[in-house]
Amino acid sequence: MANPARSGCPINAAVEVFGDSWSLLVLRDIMFGARRHFRELLAGSEEGIASNILADRLKRLVAVGLLTREEAGPGRRAAYSLTEASIELVPIFAQLGDWGLRHRPTSKRLRVRAELLAAGGPELWAEFMAELRTIHLGEPAPPREGPSVMERLASAYAAAL
């Protein structure tokens, strides 16, 4: 990490790394939206992130170890991948989404993933984290029956359109 935390408080240390809203939304879009390239993240942003903000947040997230950036060869786009540290944020994202469902106005289309994660609880979160490790870290796919968590999230989102 480039700069030491302002205090030794674990909550402060975490917030300093991923606490600004744009960083969380970039991680969300990579994690849940399967967007791995700059242009995908820019075009797919529900919140309308500006290109300079996106570039800054991607650099910061790489610098603090929450993303890796695949070096792109000639004619190729650089791909971003989650690290183990960012994959371990799945329960936090699920809890944030659940809190937002209960305490903030949301739209049907954008709330379905949070509802699925809340209903599935820690077992679903662990399954999703294992899938993310396969996609982003190259770990072997765990055995499963039925559709993947990513497929279930995509299906719930598509059904809400």
For residues 155, 41, 18 and 59, what is the CA-based torsion angle, rounded to 10 degrees? 150
Are 117 and 67 in the same domain?
no
| Distance between CA atoms of residues 48 and 41, nearest Å | 10
- pLDDT per position as a tens digit, 1-30: 456 667 777 777 777 777 788 999 999 999
User: What's the pTM?
Assistant: 0.88
Domain boundary residue, one of 83, 98, 113: 83
- The pLDDT value recorded for residue 1 is 43
Give the residue with greater pLDDT, 5 vs 126.
Answer: 126
For residues 95 and 156, state if they share a domain: yes
Do 79 and 51 lie in a common domain? yes
CB 25 within 8 A of CB 47: yes
The answer to whether 137 and 81 have CB atoms below 8 angstroms apart is: yes
pLDDT tens per residue, range 58-116: 999 999 999 999 987 777 889 999 999 999 999 999 999 999 999 988 888 888 999 99
CATH number of the domain that residue 28 is part of: 1.10.10.10
> Considering 23, 54, 83, which residue would you say is the last residue of a domain?
83
Number of structural domains found in the chain: 2
What b/e readout covers 114-135, taking b as 16+ CB neighbours within 10 angstroms? bbbbbebeeebbebbbbbbbeb
pLDDT at 79 (0 to 100): 95
- Last residue of some domain: 83, 114, 130? 83
- The answer to whether the beta carbons of residues 58 and 38 sit under 8 Å apart is yes
